[in-house]
Amino acid sequence: MLDYLVVYASESGNTEQIANEIYSVLPSSSKKIMNVRDWNGRYEADTYFIGFWANRGTCSLEIIDLISSLKYKNAAFFGTCGMGNTDDYYKGIENSALAWLADSNYYLGSYFCQGKMPSVIRDKYEACRGKCEPYLLDAMIKIYEEGQKHPDKQDLLKANVFVHDALSRVPENVS
């Protein structure tokens, strides 16, 4: 059994970037990082860092399957999202994933940051010109544009701090 397993789902590379940062700061040589599509329950660890990109405020079915399979483990969540760069939005994403984590696990917290969105999203926003309120459309495009800069060095630094904070919460004996 591994000490740490970093498992992530990443469609555009944003969450994978955060996963790589998390993996790089984990203290043990007994660790592994992998895409959730390669996981299939083949590896087990004491502590899981589970990452995903937020799609409509929640995680994918593959991540739900992973989270719901855990029993008597330490678990932390991380991820990226294009919209909603606010603590309240991130809390909602965290809570939607937490619904799948069994009570026997020890939850270590979460870290979410903004990420780039594909250009087709901006194209969809632009296609709404004249069909929806201009101030709403302008606000969504502004969020899109800001997201194109993320994850940035500051986001990676915050991921690093998150790992150290999460590890400080790991109980001495979990079984």
Domains and CATH numbers, the chain: 2-115+151-168 (3.40.50.360), 116-149 (no CATH)
* DSSP E strand boundaries for the chain: 2-8, 31-35, 45-53, 74-81, 106-114
- Confirm if 108 and 75 have CB atoms less than 8 A apart: yes
The residue to which tokens 């150290």 are assigned:
164
* Residue pLDDT tens, the chain, 175 long: 999 999 999 988 999 999 999 999 999 889 999 999 999 888 999 999 999 998 888 899 999 999 999 999 999 999 999 877 788 989 999 999 999 999 999 999 999 999 988 888 888 888 888 888 888 888 888 888 888 889 999 999 999 999 999 999 998 865 4
Angle at 81 between CA 165 and CA 86, to 5 degrees: 70
Q: How far is 66 from 41, CA to CA, in rounded Å?
A: 8
Give the per-residue pLDDT at 82.
83
Give the per-residue pLDDT at 31.
97
Cα Rg of the chain, angstroms: 17
Give the per-residue pLDDT at 173.
66
DSSP-based three-state secondary structure for 127:
helix
Q: How far is 124 from 144, CA to CA, in rounded Å?
A: 11
